[in-house]
Amino acid sequence: MNKFSAIFCLLILLIPISGWANSEESDIGFWKSEDCKKVSEAAGFFIYTSGELLKTADKERRAGNEKESEKSYAAALFFSELSENAAKNFEAFCKK
């Protein structure tokens, strides 16, 4: 048997094995639907809260309460980042 035949036979044997391995790994790392729904709802809640805090910060700034306004802006940023993290988790673990 020449080298080409040996390599060809080896490839023929490895192709079904690699297909079987990929089918087993296709669901690894994905979360249950109900968990994904909770993460999605959390992302929505966090971004809504961030928006409300921005409104509050704007009202406080207009009223001259700079320190309170800064606190509200910081809290809005915090909730915005929480929303981003939840969305990234959803994308990584829930999209199939």
pTM, entire model: 0.67
Residue 95's pLDDT is what?
Answer: 79
Residue 1's pLDDT is what?
Answer: 55
pLDDT in tens, 77-89: 999 999 999 999 9
**CB within 8 A of 42, min separation 6: which ones?**
82, 86
pLDDT in tens, 43-89: 999 999 999 999 999 999 999 999 999 999 999 999 999 999 999 99
| Angle, CA 85 vertex, CA 83 and CA 86 arms, to 5° | 65
Q: Mean pLDDT throughout 1-22?
A: 55
